[in-house]
Amino acid sequence: MHRCCLHNEEVGIHYSLFSKIDKEKLECLNESVEHAGKKVFKPWEDRLSCVFVESDADEELLFNIPFVGNVKLKAIKVIGEDSDTHPSKMRLFKNRPSMTFDDSSVKADQEFELVKDTSGFAEYTTKVVTFNSVNHLTLHFPTNFGAETTKIYYIGLKGEFTEAHHHGVTICTYESRPMPQDHKNPLTEFSQARLGQ
């Protein structure tokens, strides 16, 4: 296999967290076409497909991304056009479900200045200590390189996934004072059985 193909295959394995997103609950705010934002989370080999999300009223886009378990997020890739529609900044928020643009004024957990990337060469490494237990990720793209709208073709998430554990309720009864009649003594039972013979 060609070395380039091997590299792409390896990157694809690392950037597979798209499959751990709860797509039904994923939302993109300010998208010009409904549900277009969900389609940019796709396999690495489809990253250059013509599917994209474009902002509507202005250049801002905000993604609320719920996972089906816990994620240790290590890096992100963002692909756009070689034009001013490419986002120029990305802000990350951890475990803040249902964020809106009004909430985005709070301090982000991490921010990145983006470069124009049309193939996925740039990788933005996250602070692993901060993003080691993520069940919901919000990505805010507040600006682009000067266009009226922003276009994104691919968002890749790299990291490790752990299944969510759902513990049932365990009902326990504790005695404030042990009652001898409630506790069988195997020695007594054995003695009584011998005496009964």
Q: What is the predicted pLDDT for the residue at 174? A: 47
Q: What is the predicted pLDDT for the residue at 5? A: 42
Task: Please state, in angstroms and as integers, the Cα–Cα distance from residue 18 to each residue in 12, 59, 183, following that order.
Answer: 11, 24, 55
Contact between 150 and 36 (Cβ < 8 Å): no
Tokens 């996972």 label which residue?
Answer: 67
The full set of domain ranges for the chain reads 3-196
Largest CA distance in the chain: 98
pLDDT along the chain (197 residues), means of 10: 47 84 97 97 95 97 97 97 98 96 95 97 96 97 98 97 66 54 58 57
pTM of the model: 0.79
Tokens 């070689």 label which residue?
Answer: 82
Q: What is the predicted pLDDT for the residue at 181? A: 61
Indicate the SS3 state at residue 5.
helix
Q: What is the predicted pLDDT for the residue at 107? A: 96
Q: Rounded to the nearest 5°, which phi and psi values hold at 155?
A: -125, 120
Query: What is the CB-side half-sphere exposure of residue 197 using CA atoms within 13 A?
Result: 5
Q: Which strand (E) or helix (H) includes residue 71? A: strand 61-79
Positive or negative CA dihedral for 117, 122, 128, 132?
positive
Q: Which CATH class is domain 3-196?
A: mainly beta
> Which two three-digit tokens encode residue 24?
């039904």
Q: What is the predicted pLDDT for the residue at 35? A: 96
